[in-house]
């Protein structure tokens, strides 16, 4: 791989001449250079393609790149791309090309180093696998508003940089493929690679928001916040008799509830010497002011976090929200989401109902019923747990009934809550102390409750103990899909040794559960899109939240689309869960709401 060994193509005939060349190889690396990182706004400057023999840099400002469609959409060759989602989106928007057969070096690296490194940049990969240092500074020259590329001319440095990025990908790919094979991660890689076009299309489709309704909801919250503020001010007025006018002549008849300093002073006047005004401190106090302050803060939080800032993210061209879904954001294999994070929209507030279907369409919201507990039943093979799901019982009530040796009908709310807390808590590696805290028992009672639980579900305890040990002994755990998460074990003389070990043990317990759930949802997303296309349905994925999938389907096809969603989600679940049934709840509606 010699420096500057590439061909710069500006002639359409020459482009069409070289295309058959690509069919001769099993792999083809691809990269693009654009004016910015937003696929809707980006101007496409260069498209780089490299075979194991030759590297080509295409002048996308001069050329019609559509002839590439055939080869990029073909099953062969395998397309090697760093962060393929971006290139997919750019070529999709600019030329209607849907890249298929992807090997994403960035995702491959994430799969290989999950839990260890998060630096999956091409710069890092080039150093790690090839000992090559990439100078990424030249890339910035493409971004500048007055760069040569924008005028249709590329500098020698720009072209060489572009060529190099593409040409090294194949070498990186070869090494990564070997590692993926050695570590039995091929299945996981295939899953993630097949998911790339699914996620890209989901982002491009985006979600429609009812802006007016959203703003009305903010106004309601502001009103409630202001009412509480006024109440508090009224009650405190008598404490503030001599501060009518401040140094600047402003009337100073109110207390700034956002100022910890003023608040502490107020509490002092009320005879309360609080160390600070943190949530924990306020929660411990029985005082009316503390209670109202917490309420005030809750509204304030809603308004600032989910108010106007999310509306600002609406794309002016499409009128929709196009968040960034990162399919391997979390070390467990879960998605993360940002700009904005649609995975943390309040579940019980008026915000979700502002996510609406495109006119003429319906939204289909589907989620897995208790998928993580079903996974725990599957991996632990606990007979009582398995039976509960096989008989489609209310697991938490059943747990309570078995633990407290009473009939199902006699399980009261409190006992069901205690059982539920344990069921969920164990998946997070929770212990007696923190359970006691949640349930409102003392530690001894909490310990006793856990003992009863584990004597009822013996195999759950065995599995939890065994997987925690495995995490430490092997330094990694796996999901049922084969995904691997590696742990960096602390050295024995680390002062925090025991703390760190306990933390890894909790992660070891949780990762197979959370990660298997992620595996299942990812298979489901792929299956659903495939089936929509196979049936020619006017239906599209628009959103996913861990165990939930949201689809937009043309009104007259929404029943069929909903059926597809349910069937394919169950099929995905059954791919990994063999001993326990999989249940999915589905709802067709005009807005995003719980099934």
Which chain residues interact with DNA by CB under 7 A?
258, 260, 276, 278-281, 283-284, 294, 297-298, 301-302, 304-305, 309, 326, 329-332, 334, 336-341, 343-349, 425, 428-431, 433-434, 436-438, 443, 499, 503, 506-507, 510-511, 514, 545-548
Rounded alpha-carbon distances, angstroms, from residue 335 to 106, 324, 543: 15, 10, 11
Give the separation between CA 367 and CA 544, rounded to whole angstroms.
9
* Residue pair 165/31 in contact by the 8 Å Cβ criterion: yes
Q: Which is nearer to DNA, 102 or 274 (CB)?
A: 274
Q: Which is nearer to DNA, 198 or 345 (CB)?
A: 345
Give the nearest distance from C-beta 259 to DNA in angstroms. Answer: 8
DSSP secondary structure letter of residue 134:
-
Q: Which is nearer to DNA, 94 or 484 (CB)?
A: 484
Q: Which is nearer to DNA, 401 or 507 (CB)?
A: 507
Give the separation between CA 161 and CA 57, rounded to whole angstroms.
10
Q: How many CB atoms lie within 10 A of CB 55?
A: 23
Q: Which is nearer to DNA, 45 or 454 (CB)?
A: 454
Label the pairing between strands 361-368 and 584-589.
antiparallel
Give the nearest distance from C-beta 213 to DNA in angstroms. Answer: 18
How deeply is 251 buried, as exposed, middle or buried, from its count of CB atoms within 10 A (0-12, 13-18, 19+)? Answer: exposed
Give the nearest distance from C-beta 272 to DNA in angstroms. Answer: 14
3-state secondary structure of 246: coil
Terminus-to-terminus CA distance in the chain, angstroms? 55
Give the nearest distance from C-beta 248 to DNA in angstroms. Answer: 20
Q: Which is nearer to DNA, 336 or 559 (CB)?
A: 336
Rounded alpha-carbon distances, angstroms, from residue 402 to 339, 389, 427, 458: 46, 14, 19, 13
Q: Which is nearer to DNA, 47 or 209 (CB)?
A: 209
Q: ∠ CA(162), CA(167), CA(170), 5° rounding?
A: 140
Q: Could you tell me which of 370, 321, 306, 358 has the C-alpha nearest to residue 546? A: 370
Give the nearest distance from C-beta 312 to DNA in angstroms. Answer: 8
Give the nearest distance from C-beta 537 to DNA in angstroms. Answer: 26
Give the nearest distance from C-beta 529 to DNA in angstroms. Answer: 20
Give the nearest distance from C-beta 497 to DNA in angstroms. Answer: 12
* Residue pair 23/77 in contact by the 8 Å Cβ criterion: yes
The dihedral sign for the CA sequence 78, 79, 83, 86 = negative
Q: ∠ CA(54), CA(16), CA(75), 5° rounding?
A: 70
Give the nearest distance from C-beta 323 to DNA in angstroms. Answer: 8
Give the separation between CA 67 and CA 16, rounded to whole angstroms.
7
Give the separation between CA 128 and CA 32, rounded to whole angstroms.
22
* Residue pair 195/549 in contact by the 8 Å Cβ criterion: no
Give the separation between CA 24 and CA 76, rounded to whole angstroms.
9
DSSP codes of every residue in 465-524: HHHHHHHHHHSEEE-TT--EEE--PPPTT-TTHHHHHHHHHHHHHHHHHHHHHHHHHHHH
Give the nearest distance from C-beta 371 to DNA in angstroms. Answer: 8
Q: Which is nearer to DNA, 98 or 447 (CB)?
A: 447
Q: Which is nearer to DNA, 9 or 232 (CB)?
A: 232
Give the nearest distance from C-beta 156 to DNA in angstroms. Answer: 30
Q: At what angle do helices 371-380 and 413-427 cross, to 10 degrees?
A: 70
Q: Which is nearer to DNA, 71 or 209 (CB)?
A: 209
Tokens of 50: 């490299």
Give the separation between CA 591 and CA 361, rounded to whole angstroms.
10
> What stretches of 331-413 adopt beta strand conformation (E)?
336-338, 355-356, 361-368
Tokens 């690396």 -> residue: 29
Q: Which is nearer to DNA, 187 or 258 (CB)?
A: 258
Give the nearest distance from C-beta 280 to DNA in angstroms. Answer: 3
Give the separation between CA 402 and CA 450, rounded to whole angstroms.
13
Q: Which is nearer to DNA, 323 or 482 (CB)?
A: 323
Give the nearest distance from C-beta 390 to DNA in angstroms. Answer: 23
Q: Which is nearer to DNA, 279 or 494 (CB)?
A: 279
- Alpha-carbon Rg for the chain in angstroms: 28
């Amino acid at each position: 791989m010699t420096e500057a060994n590439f061909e710069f193509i500006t002639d359409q005939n020459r482009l069409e001449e070289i295309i058959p060349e690509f069919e001769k190889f099993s792999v083809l690396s691809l990269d693009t250079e654009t004016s910015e990182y937003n696929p809707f706004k980006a101007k496409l400057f260069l498209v780089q393609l490299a075979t194991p023999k030759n590297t080509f840099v295409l002048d996308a400002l001069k050329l019609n790149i559509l002839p590439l469609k055939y080869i990029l959409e073909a099953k062969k060759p395998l397309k090697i791309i760093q962060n393929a989602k971006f290139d997919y989106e750019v070529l999709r928007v600019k030329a209607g090309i849907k890249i298929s057969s992807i090997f994403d070096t960035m995702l491959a690296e994430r799969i290989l180093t999950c839990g260890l490194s998060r630096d999956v940049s091409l710069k890092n990969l080039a150093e790690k696998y090839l000992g090559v240092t990439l100078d990424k500074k030249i890339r910035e020259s493409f971004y500048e508003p007055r760069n040569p590329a924008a005028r249709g001319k590329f500098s020698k440095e720009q072209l060489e940089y572009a060529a190099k990025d593409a040409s090294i990908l194949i070498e990186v790919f070869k090494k990564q493929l070997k590692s993926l094979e050695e570590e039995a991660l091929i299945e996981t890689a295939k899953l993630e690679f097949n998911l790339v076009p699914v996620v890209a299309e989901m982002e491009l489709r985006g979600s429609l928001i009812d802006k007016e309704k959203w703003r009305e909801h903010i106004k309601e919250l502001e009103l409630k916040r202001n009412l509480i503020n006024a109440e508090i001010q009224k009650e405190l007025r008598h404490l503030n008799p001599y501060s009518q006018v401040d140094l600047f002549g402003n009337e100073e008849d109110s207390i700034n509830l956002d100022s910890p300093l003023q608040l502490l002073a107020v509490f002092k006047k009320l005879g309360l010497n609080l160390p600070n005004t943190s949530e924990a401190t306020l929660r411990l106090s029985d005082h009316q002011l503390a209670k109202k302050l917490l309420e005030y803060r809750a509204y304030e939080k809603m308004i600032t976090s989910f108010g106007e800032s999310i509306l600002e993210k609406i794309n002016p061209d499409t009128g929709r929200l196009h968040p960034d879904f990162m399919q391997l954001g979390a070390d467990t294999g879960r998605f993360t989401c940002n700009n904005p994070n649609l995975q943390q929209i309040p579940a019980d507030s008026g915000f979700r109902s502002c996510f609406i279907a495109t006119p003429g369409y319906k939204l289909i919201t589907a989620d897995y019923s208790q998928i993580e507990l079903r996974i725990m039943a599957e991996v632990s093979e606990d007979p009582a747990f398995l039976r509960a799901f096989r008989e489609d019982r209310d697991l938490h009530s059943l747990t309570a009934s078995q633990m407290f040796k009473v009939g199902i009908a006699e399980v009261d709310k409190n006992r069901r809550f205690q059982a539920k807390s344990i069921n969920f808590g164990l998946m997070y590696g929770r212990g007696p102390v923190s359970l006691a805290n949640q349930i409102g028992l003392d530690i001894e009672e909490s310990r006793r409750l856990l003992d009863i639980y584990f004597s009822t579900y013996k195999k759950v305890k065995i599995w939890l103990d065994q997987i925690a040990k495995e995490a430490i002994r092997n330094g990694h755990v796996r999901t049922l899909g084969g995904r691997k998460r590696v742990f960096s074990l602390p050295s024995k003389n680390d002062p925090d040794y025991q703390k760190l070990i306990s933390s890894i043990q909790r992660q070891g317990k949780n990762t197979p559960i959370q990660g298997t759930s992620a595996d299942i949802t990812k298979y489901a997303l792929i299956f659903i899109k495939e089936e929509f296309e196979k049936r020619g349905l006017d239906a599209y994925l628009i959103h996913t939240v861990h165990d939930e999938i949201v689809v937009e389907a043309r009104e007259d096809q929404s029943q069929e689309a909903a059926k597809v969603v349910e069937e394919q989600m169950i099929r995905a679940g059954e791919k990994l869960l063999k001993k326990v049934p999989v249940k999915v709840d589905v709802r067709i509606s005009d807005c995003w709401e719980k099934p």
